[in-house]
Chains A and B, each alone.
Chain A
Amino acid sequence: MLRNLFQYYLRQPETLPTLLSAELERRYPGEKVCTYALCDLDSAQHFSEQWVIIAGKLLVTATPLTGRDTWDFRSFALTEIDSFELFDGLSSSSLQIVGEKKRLLASLHFTRRQSRALSNVQFVAEQKKKQLKDSSVSRDLADGLDPDDEYREAMLKAIEDAKSMLSMPKMGVMLRLLSYLRPHKIPVICAFGTAALLTLVLLLPPYLMRVLVDDIIRPAEQGKVDNPYRMLWLVIGALALVYAIGEFMGFIRMRVMSVVGEKICMRLREDLYRHMQKLSLSFFSSRPTGTLIARVSSDTDRLWDFITFGVIDIGMAILQIIGVAVALFFQDVSLALLVLIPLPIMAMMFYFHSIRIQVHFLRMWRKWSAMTAVLSDVIPGIRVVKAFAQEEKEVERFSEKNRAVEAEAQILHRNWTRFWPTVVMLMHTCTLIVWIVGAPRVVRYITTNGEEGMPLGVFLAFTGYMWMFWAPVQQLGMMSRVINRVTTSASRVFEVLDTTPSIVSKENAVPPPPFAGDVRFENVSFSYDGARNVLKGVNFEVKAGEMIGLVGPSGSGKTTLVNLLCRFYDVKGGRILLDGVDVRDMELSGLRRQIGVVLQEPYLFHGSIAENIAYGSHGISPRDIIEAARAANAHEFICGFRDGYETIVGERGQTLSGGERQRISIARAILHNPRILVLDEATSSVDTETERKIQEALRRLVAGRTTFAIAHRLSTLSAAKRLFVLEDGKLVEQGTHAELLEKPDGVYAKLHRTQVELQANVVV
C-alpha cells in the first residue's frame, strides 16, 4: 500500500535503492544507516536523484552515475562538519554543509516535499556529532529508529494531512443526496405512487381519441350505429374523469414533495452550520466567508428545487417513456420501431452534453463564489472604503467579478441552447417519418374499405402517443442541466460536511474539573504552515493565580502561545499541561469554558448589551449582569443609553466607542468567570480617563485568576507578577518588570526604552 502511494503520488523511490545500500555496506563496512533523504534537484535545477545518508559516523552523498548500477559517493566524518546552513527559497531549498575553516563540503538542493526528511537528516547529524565529540551525551538518540519508516513518514506526511482533511465520501453525490429522503419514506413512497398512477392515467386520452374516431365517428359516418351519442358522452365523460384524477394526483405529489423537500433542506442547512461550528479555526482562516455563506444559503436552496421537483420528475419521465413505448407497440409495431430508433442516439447526445456542461457549471460556481467573496470582504470593511473614498474602485472590483459570472453563464447558455434545437430537430424528423409511413397506410385503409392499412383512429392515437413520448425525453434532457447544477451544489455542501475538524476531543475524554490554574509548557513548538516554526521549544511554569505579561516584538509568537493554550491549534511538538493534565486529553468545550479571552478587537454580536455581556454564560440574572458591568466600569455609560442594557448594538457593535466595547467585553469575561484568563491588550490609545477606567476594570478581572496578558501598556506590565519576553519564537527572558530592566542589554530593556521614548512623544 505504502509502496503504491509513493509511486502514485510522488514517483520517487520508497526506500533507499537496494543497490545503493548494498554498495554502501561494501564501501563503509560497519557504518549503520541511521537516516537518509532524497535531494531531488541538481545545481542546474533539474529534477534529479541524489541521496544523503547518515551512516554510523559518516555523512554520505550518493549520485547515480549514468548506467544506473554504480554510484558516485562522497563521504565526510560527522566530526568534520562545522555547521549546516539552510536556505529556504520560494519553492526549493538548499542545505549547505560547511566544514572547518568555512570550507563548503556539499551543497544539497531539494524541493519542499523533501524538507521534512532533510531536516531529519540534519537533526540526526547534529545530535550524532554532539555524541561523538562529547561522550557524556546519551548515545541512544536516533539509534532505535528505523530509517525506512522515518523517511516514509516524512515524505507522506503532507499527503496524509491533505487526505485526512476529508473523510472520503463513499457514495456518489447523487446517491448520497437521495439518502436524505430515507427518513421521509412514507410521504416519498406516497408521492411516487401518485406520480406513477398519474402517468398511467395520462396514457388514456390518446386511446380515447382512437375509440372516438374508430368506434363512434367512422361508424356513424357510415351509418353503422343507431345512437352514437350515448357512446360519445361516455367517452367525453371518461376524458373528463381522467383529467380530474390527473389533476388531483398532481396536486398530492407537489404538496407532499414540497413539504418533504423543505424539511430535508432545513436539515441540510442545520447539519452544515452545526458542522461548521465544529470545524477548527484553520478551516475558516483559509476560506472566504462569502463562499461559506453561499454553501449554507443558495446551495441548499438549489437542492430543495431538485428534491421537490427533480427527483419525482425524473422518475415520472422514465415511467412515462416506458408506458408510452408499450402503448406505441400496442398501436402498431412497425411504426413504434421507427419512433424508437433515434432514442439511443439521443441518449448518447444527452450523455456527452452533460459531461461537457458539467465543467461549465463548476466554473460558473467558482465565479459565483468569487463574486460573493467580494461582497463579504468589502461590506464589513465599508468604513475603510469610505474613508479612502474607494467606492468607485470597489464597484469596479465587484463588477469585474460580476462580468465574469455573466460571461461564464453566457458560455453555458450558448452550449445548451445550441444543443436543444438539434434534439428537437431529431424529434421532428421522427414525426415526419411516421407521417411518411403512416399517412399512406390510412389512405389505403379507406380506399380498400378496411381490408389492409391502418384505421384513422389508430394513426391519430399513435401520433398523440408519439408527442407524449417526446415530452419526457425532452424533460430528461432539461433535467440533465438541473442535475449538473445540483451535483455541483451538493458536492460543495458535502465538501464542508466531509471536512473533519482538526481539533477534536479525544474519544471518552472527560470534562476537566474546575482548574486550580497551574499552567506548564513543556518544550512546545508550533508552526502554522509546517515550514516555519513560530514557537521553538518554549518551556515555562505558571502557578495558579499568577499574572504573566507576554512581551516581545510583533511576530514573536505571543498570540500563537495563547492560541495554543486555548487549543485553537494543537502543538506540533512538546505539550501543554493544565493542572498537570495535557490539554489534548481534556474535553474541548469543558476546557474552553474555563478559559476566558478578552480580545484586542472585542467582537459584539447583534443583540442587546445584556445579551452580549451574558454571552457564553448560563443561568444569569439581571443582577449578575449589572454587577459584572459595574466591575468592568461599564455600568455608568450603559445606564446613560436610553434603552439601558437593552440597547441594541450593531453587527460589530459600531454604535459604541472602542473603550466602551472593550469594557463590555471585560464585563463578559468577568461574568464568564474563567479560571484562566487571556488578555490581548489593545495598542490603540484611548483617552486617559477611559484608560484609567479600563485599567481598574482589568485589575478586578485579573484578581485571583491565572492570567496571560499580551501587554503593551506599561501599567499592565508593571502589574504582572512576571514578564515573559518572546523573541523569534523563543522565550528569551523572564522576570519582573524591575528585574528585567536591570539587564541593560536585555531584550526587554531595549523594548522598554523605545516604548518610553514613543510615549514621551505622544504625551507632548
Chain B
Amino acid sequence: MSTKTDAASLDFELFRREDGRLVMRRDENGKLTEVPLRIACCFPWSLREEFISLRDDKGRELALVEKLSQLKPDTRQLVEEELNSAFFVPRIRELLSIERQAELFLWRVETDSGPRSFLTGHDEHPRTLPNGRILIKDVSNDLYLIENPKELSAKSWKLLWAYLD
C-alpha cells in the first residue's frame, strides 16, 4: 500500500467499467491489476481540484493526486465526473422563506437543482466557510451551499442575514 505521491504512483490508467464503476488499471510488479475505485477529496470545501485520494473499496489509498492537472486529459475527465457526482451539493439561488417553528427552521429555497424545502435543527446555524461561501445542514444531514452570498437578491439576503454568524 503506497501512499507516496511521486510521479511513479500516478502511473495508472482509469476507465469506466460496464457496471459504472471507475476502475484503476496499473502495473504492479509486472502484473496488471484492476481495482474499482472510490474517490475522496481531502479539502472538499476549499481545494476541490487538489489532493484527490483514489482508494479501493476497503478504504486503502492507491494514489493521491495532488493536482487534477497532473492527470492525462481523459483520466482527468473521469475523475472529475466522479468528483462531481460524489461531491454534489445543491446550490441555493434564492431564499423564498424561513419559517420559525419553536426552535426549528423551515426553509423554502430555489436551488440550481430545482425547488426544495428543508428543516434545520435548533442549534444548526448556517456556517460561513473560509472563502465566504455559506453552508447549511438540514436535519437529514443534507447540505445546501450558497456559492456567492453577495449575489443573492436583496430579499434573500434579508432573510438569510439574521441567521448568519
A91 touches B103 (CB 8 A): no
Specify which of B19, B86, B103, B162 is in contact with A359 (CB 8 Å cutoff).
B162
- Contact (A166, B20) CB under 8 Å given A113-B142, A531-B141: no
Interface digits, A699-737 against B, CB 8 Å rule (1 contact, 0 not)?
A: 000000000000000000000000000000000000000
Give chain A residues whose Cβ lies under 8 Å from the Cβ of B111: 47
- The reply on A144 being an interface residue by CB < 8 A is no
A47 touches B19 (CB 8 A): no
- The reply on A16 being an interface residue by CB < 8 A is no
Whole-angstrom distance between the alpha carbons of A4 and B125 in the complex?
26
Whole-angstrom distance between the alpha carbons of A87 and B146 in the complex?
24
A162 touches B88 (CB 8 A): no
A166 touches B123 (CB 8 A): no
Whole-angstrom distance between the alpha carbons of A150 and B165 in the complex?
38
Query: Which stretch of A103-111, A623-631, A679-687 is in the interface?
Result: A103-111
* Chain A stretch 351-409: residues in CB contact (< 8 A) with chain B: 359, 362-363, 366-367, 370
Specify which of A90, A98, A165, A286 is in contact with B86 (CB 8 Å cutoff).
A90
| Closest CB in chain A relative to B59 CB, distance in Å | 9
* Chain A stretch 232-291: residues in CB contact (< 8 A) with chain B: 286-287
Whole-angstrom distance between the alpha carbons of A558 and B81 in the complex?
37
Whole-angstrom distance between the alpha carbons of A11 and B125 in the complex?
22
B85 touches A158 (CB 8 A): no
Specify which of A159, A359, A363 is in contact with B139 (CB 8 Å cutoff).
A159
Whole-angstrom distance between the alpha carbons of A112 and B138 in the complex?
10
B139 touches A161 (CB 8 A): yes
B19 touches A104 (CB 8 A): yes
| Closest CB in chain B relative to A493 CB, distance in Å | 12
Nearest A residue to B116 via CB reads: A47
Give chain B residues whose Cβ lies under 8 Å from the Cβ of A87: 38, 85-86
Whole-angstrom distance between the alpha carbons of A101 and B121 in the complex?
45
* Chain B stretch 99-142: residues in CB contact (< 8 A) with chain A: 102-104, 106, 111, 113-119, 121-123, 125, 138-142
- The reply on B149 being an interface residue by CB < 8 A is no
Interface digits, B142-165 against A, CB 8 Å rule (1 contact, 0 not)?
A: 111000000000000000011011
Which among A94, A109, A113, A168 has the highest number of chain B CB atoms within 10 Å? A113
Give chain A residues whose Cβ lies under 8 Å from the Cβ of B113: 41, 45-47
- Contact (A9, B117) CB under 8 Å given A113-B140, A158-B140: yes
- The reply on A580 being an interface residue by CB < 8 A is no
- The reply on A96 being an interface residue by CB < 8 A is yes
A98 touches B140 (CB 8 A): no
- The reply on B17 being an interface residue by CB < 8 A is yes
- Contact (A102, B115) CB under 8 Å given A87-B86, A90-B88: no
Give chain B residues whose Cβ lies under 8 Å from the Cβ of A193: none
A168 touches B102 (CB 8 A): yes
Whole-angstrom distance between the alpha carbons of A5 and B161 in the complex?
27
Whole-angstrom distance between the alpha carbons of A98 and B88 in the complex?
23
- The reply on A169 being an interface residue by CB < 8 A is yes
B19 touches A162 (CB 8 A): no
| Closest CB in chain A relative to B55 CB, distance in Å | 12
Give chain B residues whose Cβ lies under 8 Å from the Cβ of A162: 104, 119, 121-122, 139
Whole-angstrom distance between the alpha carbons of A329 and B104 in the complex?
49
- The reply on A529 being an interface residue by CB < 8 A is yes
Specify which of A85, A89, A498 is in contact with B88 (CB 8 Å cutoff).
A89
| Closest CB in chain B relative to A59 CB, distance in Å | 16
- Contact (A362, B88) CB under 8 Å given A11-B117, A98-B19, A287-B123: no
- The reply on B43 being an interface residue by CB < 8 A is no
Specify which of B87, B103, B123 is in contact with A286 (CB 8 Å cutoff).
B123
Give chain B residues whose Cβ lies under 8 Å from the Cβ of A41: 88, 113
Whole-angstrom distance between the alpha carbons of A113 and B141 in the complex?
8
Give chain A residues whose Cβ lies under 8 Å from the Cβ of B90: 47, 91, 111
Nearest B residue to A287 via CB reads: B123
A158 touches B88 (CB 8 A): no
- The reply on A231 being an interface residue by CB < 8 A is no
Whole-angstrom distance between the alpha carbons of A85 and B139 in the complex?
25
- The reply on B28 being an interface residue by CB < 8 A is no
| Closest CB in chain A relative to B126 CB, distance in Å | 11
Which among A9, A101, A168, A366 has the highest number of chain B CB atoms within 10 Å? A9
Whole-angstrom distance between the alpha carbons of A561 and B17 in the complex?
39
| Closest CB in chain A relative to B98 CB, distance in Å | 12
Whole-angstrom distance between the alpha carbons of A570 and B127 in the complex?
29
- Contact (A103, B19) CB under 8 Å given A9-B119, A94-B85, A165-B122: yes
Give chain B residues whose Cβ lies under 8 Å from the Cβ of A113: 118, 138, 140, 142
Nearest B residue to A94 via CB reads: B85
- The reply on A92 being an interface residue by CB < 8 A is yes
- The reply on A10 being an interface residue by CB < 8 A is yes
Specify which of B106, B114, B118 is in contact with A46 (CB 8 Å cutoff).
B114
- The reply on B71 being an interface residue by CB < 8 A is no
* Chain A stretch 46-73: residues in CB contact (< 8 A) with chain B: 46-48
- The reply on A450 being an interface residue by CB < 8 A is no
| Closest CB in chain A relative to B35 CB, distance in Å | 14
A169 touches B114 (CB 8 A): no
Whole-angstrom distance between the alpha carbons of A159 and B125 in the complex?
17
- Contact (A47, B114) CB under 8 Å given A104-B18, A366-B165: yes
B162 touches A112 (CB 8 A): no
Specify which of A45, A94, A363 is in contact with B162 (CB 8 Å cutoff).
A363
B19 touches A102 (CB 8 A): yes
Specify which of A8, A47, A115, A498 is in contact with B115 (CB 8 Å cutoff).
A47
B85 touches A9 (CB 8 A): no
Whole-angstrom distance between the alpha carbons of A495 and B102 in the complex?
9
Give chain A residues whose Cβ lies under 8 Å from the Cβ of B121: 162, 165
Whole-angstrom distance between the alpha carbons of A90 and B111 in the complex?
17
Whole-angstrom distance between the alpha carbons of A90 and B161 in the complex?
25
| Closest CB in chain A relative to B156 CB, distance in Å | 15
Specify which of A92, A115, A495 is in contact with B103 (CB 8 Å cutoff).
A495
| Closest CB in chain A relative to B1 CB, distance in Å | 13
* Chain A stretch 1-17: residues in CB contact (< 8 A) with chain B: 8-11
Whole-angstrom distance between the alpha carbons of A531 and B119 in the complex?
18
- Contact (A530, B141) CB under 8 Å given A45-B88, A47-B116, A359-B162: yes
- Contact (A96, B104) CB under 8 Å given A89-B85, A112-B141: no
Whole-angstrom distance between the alpha carbons of A102 and B23 in the complex?
12
A90 touches B117 (CB 8 A): no
Give chain B residues whose Cβ lies under 8 Å from the Cβ of A362: 162
* Chain A stretch 108-137: residues in CB contact (< 8 A) with chain B: 109, 111-113, 115
Whole-angstrom distance between the alpha carbons of A370 and B162 in the complex?
15
A91 touches B89 (CB 8 A): yes
- Contact (A102, B17) CB under 8 Å given A286-B123, A366-B125: yes
Specify which of A91, A107, A359 is in contact with B20 (CB 8 Å cutoff).
A107
Whole-angstrom distance between the alpha carbons of A561 and B154 in the complex?
50
A90 touches B89 (CB 8 A): yes
Whole-angstrom distance between the alpha carbons of A168 and B142 in the complex?
24
Give chain B residues whose Cβ lies under 8 Å from the Cβ of A163: 104
Nearest B residue to A168 via CB reads: B102
Give chain A residues whose Cβ lies under 8 Å from the Cβ of B140: 111-113, 115, 158
Specify which of A85, A91, A109, A159 is in contact with B21 (CB 8 Å cutoff).
A85
A45 touches B86 (CB 8 A): no
- Contact (A103, B18) CB under 8 Å given A359-B162, A495-B122: yes
27 contacts between A and B (CB under 8 A): A8-B106, A45-B84, A46-B113, A47-B114, A47-B115, A48-B114, A87-B38, A87-B85, A90-B89, A91-B88, A91-B141, A92-B88, A96-B21, A101-B18, A104-B19, A111-B90, A113-B138, A158-B141, A161-B139, A162-B122, A166-B104, A166-B122, A359-B161, A359-B162, A367-B165, A491-B103, A530-B141
Task: Report A's interface with B, CB cutoff 8 A.
Answer: 8-11, 41, 45-48, 85, 87, 89-92, 94, 96, 98, 101-104, 107, 109, 111-113, 115, 158-159, 161-163, 165-166, 168-169, 286-287, 359, 362-363, 366-367, 370, 491, 495, 498, 529-531
Q: A112-B140, A162-B104, A162-B119 are in contact. List 14 more A-B contacts (CB 8 A).
A: A9-B119, A11-B116, A41-B88, A45-B88, A87-B38, A90-B143, A91-B144, A92-B88, A111-B142, A112-B142, A159-B119, A363-B162, A366-B125, A495-B122
